[in-house]
Amino acid sequence: MPRGDGTGPPGGSGPGSGRGLGRGGTGQGRMKGNRAGAGSGGKCVCPNCGEVRTHQRGIPCLNNKCPKCGTMMVRG
């Protein structure tokens, strides 16, 4: 409010409006969620039988079937 008399810009514009994800850093940002962008190392694990395989770069674990029971593997 430039004049201090309540005649500022209409509500909903300017800093301080919106969802609060901008300046405060409260959003997770790029590749910082749960397991997102886990990198090239690590293991693929079968959630059914527990079989563990080395993760191959560029191939998501969810695209691999467990060699023992055939269940789709997950990143572990």
pTM (two decimals): 0.48
The boundaries of the domain holding residue 55 are 41-76
Taking Cα atoms as reference points, which of 56, 65, 61 lies closest to residue 76?
A: 61
What confidence tier does 28 reach under pLDDT thresholds 50, 70, 90? low
Taking Cα atoms as reference points, which of 28, 68, 19 lies closest to residue 46?
A: 68
Q: What is the mean pLDDT of the chain?
A: 76
19 assigned to some structural domain: no
Q: Residue 25: pLDDT above 60?
A: no
63 assigned to some structural domain: yes
Beta strands 52-54 and 74-75 are unpaired
Number of domains the chain contains: 1
73 assigned to some structural domain: yes
23 assigned to some structural domain: no
